[in-house]
């Protein structure tokens, strides 16, 4: 083997080693530009963490993240105001037709029932929940708890969290007959439950913390582990949506969330990562 | 003496036309979209009494009733408080109370709505919850907060209407043997009746159109209120809640009609205020 051939082989090996050890975030090195993201509030921890990692390696990449809800995500990405519109529900056919959107499901989130931490009730069955939402049970005393009225909290129409709860727990044909106090984000739901000792509501499992108490449903604890094994059934997908196929920095961002590093971010944010469809 | 007719500067005329055109465009846009929504979404029964997403019924009547109840109740609270405070702002009152109170009421006009709502969520709502049961998020709680929000406007309208009137009548009335309270009650207040009605209408309009306080405090349940302690959803709160979730379908069309109804309400109130101004 002559000297030239050896040198080429050595360079090739060096390149392969560099490529093998390059972190997925390295694709942003030397990139410039903006990525704007809006929509679902459950997505925000994942998007923020990814943005933080990207901005460390590529300070000229500016990523703006705002919430607003699934509807805002659809509207803003559809009208070209943002690059990525997040939703906590699958797009409706009319939304796809109207704006020509492409969806990227990237995580699974469980929806947990939650009560005030002072509430002595820790476990319920889906039959009991249906009775609460139909008004047959209206006091925690009827379930073995304190003599306190059950104040039901829910999410606004069109919320992905609400759709999951309604369809998978109550059933598609179930009619809610109790007045439901409505809030418009997971954060607002947490505040409401944390302040009301008689509250019963639901949030994404990733939002459970010491300020509210997750309810064990049919003997299964609401954890992401149970959601990933299928033991906990009340789950939904989280989506990123783009107008047409993503290009440039937007495509890199989406690819990044489907990488191993992206999967770690998703897991650390309390969700279950999904492979690229 | 003949006065020469002054010519209004061109830029001032342009400003007036620009503002008028903007308001007309706003009215036209809201009206056209609402009429279109009613025509396209006829099968959604947008002005019906039932809101049931699963049956695709998006009736706004519960929200119309809730909005009117909220505005009515808060206006009652606000008017009572405003008249009470007005008594302390009269020229006859000691200045140690009158001046700080006036400063405080002027300061109240600068407090953002979200501060009222946030404070009420952590102070008022738990009290209402303990006293009445339920969640505390109710028509009653939201009405109290709306009353406080509208209070400075109402008080200042009354105070400005009173102006030098009370000073002018105070001495003659004292000479006639009337106390200062009697002067206010039987002379000044009847004289500023139109302004009192105007203040009430302004308060009603503001309560009807406010979105933040009802969204945070009224509970937002989609039912007809049967008691002041029920959770209710106003039209403005409905717009702010649904706008973040839906861009198509019956819910979206309901927003357009809700905006039109609110605009009609505000338009009617402005019309009555204008009529009152004319009479005065």
pLDDT of B92 strictly over 80: no
Rounded Cα–Cα distance for residues B236 and B222 (Å): 13
CA-closest candidate to residue B242, choices A242, A82, A184, A148: A184
Alpha helices in A66-185 (DSSP H): 70-78, 93-99, 126-133, 160-164
Q: Closest partner residue to B242 among A98, A157, A179, by Cβ? A: A157
> What's the number of CA atoms in the CB half-sphere (13 Å) around residue A143?
23
What average pLDDT does range B254-277 have in this prediction? 88
The residue to which tokens 């093998």 are assigned: A20
Q: Do B245 and A199 touch (CB under 8 A)?
A: no
Q: Determine phi and psi for A254, rounding to 5 degrees.
A: -65, -45
Q: Spell out which residues of chain A touch residue B121, defining contact as CB-CB under 8 Å.
A: 191, 195
Residue B76 pLDDT: 95
Q: Spell out which residues of chain A touch residue B129, defining contact as CB-CB under 8 Å.
A: 196, 198
Percent of chain B exceeding pLDDT 70 equals 95
Compute the mean pLDDT over every residue in chain A, rounded to the nearest whole number: 88
Burial class (CB in 10 A: 0-12, 13-18, 19+), B257: buried
pLDDT of A262 strictly over 90: yes
pLDDT of A68 strictly over 90: no
CA distance, residue B58 to nearest chain A CA (Å): 11
CA-closest candidate to residue B167, choices B89, B223, B257: B89
The residue to which tokens 């000044």 are assigned: B188
Most confident of A128-132, A208-212, B43-47, B167-171: A128-132
Residue A131: band (very low, low, confident or very high) from pLDDT cuts 50, 70, 90 = very high
Q: Is A273 helix (H, G, I), strand (E, B) or coil?
A: strand
Nearest residue of A to residue B51, measured between CA atoms: A157
Prediction pTM value = 0.80
Rounded Cα–Cα distance for residues A148 and A130 (Å): 18
Long-range contacts of B103-112 (CB under 8 A, 24+ apart): B105/B151, B105/B152, B105/B155, B105/B156, B106/B152, B106/B156, B108/B148, B108/B151, B108/B152, B109/B152, B109/B153, B109/B156
CB–CB of A192/A113 below 8 Å? no
CA-closest candidate to residue A174, choices B8, B55, B192: B55
Residue B279 pLDDT: 60
Q: Do B246 and A71 touch (CB under 8 A)?
A: yes
Q: Do A156 and B231 touch (CB under 8 A)?
A: no
Q: Do B245 and A71 touch (CB under 8 A)?
A: yes
CB–CB of A185/A41 below 8 Å? yes
Residue A210: DSSP 8-state: T
Q: Closest partner residue to B241 among A75, A156, A191, by Cβ? A: A156
pLDDT of A89 strictly over 80: yes
Interface test mutation site (partner A, options B230, B247, B253, max chain A beta carbons within 10 A): B247
Residue B9 pLDDT: 83
Rounded Cα–Cα distance for residues A75 and B182 (Å): 60
Residue A204 pLDDT: 87
Residue A35: band (very low, low, confident or very high) from pLDDT cuts 50, 70, 90 = very high
Chain B positions contacting chain A at CB under 8 Å are 52-54, 121-122, 125-126, 129, 133-137, 215, 219-223, 230-231, 233, 240-249, 251
pLDDT tens sequence across B219-255? 999 989 999 999 999 999 999 888 766 666 788 889 8
Rounded Cα–Cα distance for residues A242 and A102 (Å): 5
Percent of chain B exceeding pLDDT 90 equals 50
Q: Spell out which residues of chain B touch residue A92, defining contact as CB-CB under 8 Å.
A: 248-249
Burial B102-137 (b: 16+ CB within 10 A, else e): beebeebeeeebeebbeebbeebbeebbeeeebbbb
Most confident of A19-33, B29-43, B135-149: B135-149
pLDDT of A254 strictly over 90: yes
Through-space distance between the first and last CA atoms of chain A, rounded to whole angstroms:
46
Flag whether the ipTM exceeds 0.95.
no
Residue B252 pLDDT: 84
If you write DSSP's letter for every residue of B220-278 in order, what string do you get?
--SS--SSTTS-B--HHHHHHHHHTT-SSHHHHHHHHHHHHHHHHHHHHHHHHHHHHHH
Q: Do A71 and B247 touch (CB under 8 A)?
A: yes
Alpha helices in A134-223 (DSSP H): 160-164, 186-195
Q: Spell out which residues of chain B touch residue A175, defining contact as CB-CB under 8 Å.
A: 52, 54
Nearest residue of B to residue A154, measured between CA atoms: B221
Rounded Cα–Cα distance for residues A114 and A145 (Å): 15
Q: Determine phi and psi for A159, rounding to 5 degrees.
A: -70, 135
Rounded Cα–Cα distance for residues B224 and B61 (Å): 8
Most confident of A6-15, A130-139, B54-63: A130-139
Q: Spell out which residues of chain A touch residue B137, defining contact as CB-CB under 8 Å.
A: 181, 192
Interface test mutation site (partner A, options B135, B229, B236, max chain A beta carbons within 10 A): B135
Residue A125 pLDDT: 94
Q: Closest partner residue to A179 among B52, B223, B243, by Cβ? A: B223
Token pair listed for A88:
């906590």
CA distance, residue A28 to nearest chain B CA (Å): 32
CA-closest candidate to residue A40, choices A222, A244, A185: A185
What average pLDDT does range A63-88 have in this prediction? 89
Q: Spell out which residues of chain B touch residue A184, defining contact as CB-CB under 8 Å.
A: 215, 240-241, 244-245
pLDDT tens sequence across B47-82? 988 888 878 889 999 999 999 999 999 999 999 999
Alpha helices in B41-111 (DSSP H): 61-88, 95-108
pLDDT of A22 strictly over 60: yes
Residue A271: DSSP 8-state: -
pLDDT tens sequence across B5-40? 677 888 888 999 999 999 899 999 999 999 999 998
pLDDT tens sequence across A171-196? 888 888 899 999 988 888 999 999 99
Residue B134 pLDDT: 86
Q: Closest partner residue to B251 among A75, A158, A182, by Cβ? A: A158
Residue A8 pLDDT: 66
More reliable by pLDDT, A157 or B108: B108
């Amino acid at each position: 083997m002559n000297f030239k051939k050896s040198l080429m082989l050595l360079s090739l090996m060096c390149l392969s080693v560099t490529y093998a050890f390059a972190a997925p975030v390295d694709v942003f090195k030397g990139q410039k530009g903006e990525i704007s993201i809006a929509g679902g509030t459950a997505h925000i921890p994942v998007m923020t963490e990814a943005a933080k990692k990207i901005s460390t390696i590529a300070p000229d990449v500016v990523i703006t993240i705002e919430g607003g809800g699934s509807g805002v995500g659809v509207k803003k990405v559809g009208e070209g105001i943002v690059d990525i519109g997040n939703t906590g529900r699958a797009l409706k056919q009319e939304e796809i037709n109207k704006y020509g959107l492409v969806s990227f499901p990237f995580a699974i989130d469980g929806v947990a029932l939650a009560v005030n931490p002072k509430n002595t009730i820790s476990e319920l069955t889906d039959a009991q929940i249906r009775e609460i939402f139909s008004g047959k049970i209206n006091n925690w005393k009827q379930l073995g708890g304190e003599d306190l009225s059950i104040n039901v909290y829910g999410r606004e129409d069109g919320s992905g969290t609400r759709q999951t709860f309604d369809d998978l727990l109550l059933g598609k044909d179930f009619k809610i007959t109790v007045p439901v106090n409505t809030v418009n984000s997971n954060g607002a739901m947490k505040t409401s439950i944390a302040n009301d000792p008689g509250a019963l509501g639901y949030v994404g499992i990733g939002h459970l913390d010491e300020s509210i108490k997750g309810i064990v449903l049919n003997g299964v604890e609401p954890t992401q582990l149970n959601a990933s094994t299928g033991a906990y059934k009340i789950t939904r997908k989280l989506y990123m949506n783009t107008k047409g196929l993503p290009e440039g920095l937007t495509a890199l961002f989406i690819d990044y969330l489907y990488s191993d590093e992206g999967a770690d971010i998703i897991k650390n944010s309390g969700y279950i990562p999904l492979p690229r469809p | 003496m003949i006065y020469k007719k002054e010519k209004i500067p061109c830029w001032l005329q342009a400003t007036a036309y620009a503002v008028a055109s903007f308001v007309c465009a706003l009215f036209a846009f809201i009206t056209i979209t609402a009429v279109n929504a009613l025509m396209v979404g006829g099968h959604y029964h947008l002005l019906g009494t039932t809101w049931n997403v699963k049956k695709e019924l998006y009736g706004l009547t519960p929200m119309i009733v809730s909005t009117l109840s909220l505005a009515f109740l808060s206006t009652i609270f606000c008017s009572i408080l405003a008249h009470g405070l007005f008594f302390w702002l009269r020229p006859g009152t000691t200045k140690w109370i009158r001046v700080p109170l006036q400063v405080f009421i002027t300061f109240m006009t600068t407090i953002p709505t979200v501060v009222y709502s946030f404070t009420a969520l952590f102070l008022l709502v738990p009290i209402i919850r303990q006293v009445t049961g339920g969640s505390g998020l109710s028509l009653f709680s939201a009405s109290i907060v709306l009353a406080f929000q509208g209070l400075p406007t109402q008080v200042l309208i009354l105070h400005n209407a009173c102006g030098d009137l009370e000073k002018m009548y105070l001495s003659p009335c004292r000479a006639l043997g009337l106390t200062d309270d009697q002067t206010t009650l039987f002379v000044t207040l009847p004289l500023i009746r139109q302004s009192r009605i105007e203040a009430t209408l302004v308060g009603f309009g503001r309560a009807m159109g406010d979105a933040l306080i009802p969204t945070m405090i009224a509970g937002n349940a989609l039912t007809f209120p049967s008691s002041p302690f029920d959770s209710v959803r106003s039209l403005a709160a409905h717009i702010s809640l649904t706008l973040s979730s839906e861009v198509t379908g019956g819910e979206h069309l309901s927003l357009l009609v809700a905006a039109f109804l609110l605009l009609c309400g505000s338009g009617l109130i402005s019309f009555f205020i204008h009529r009152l101004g004319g009479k005065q």
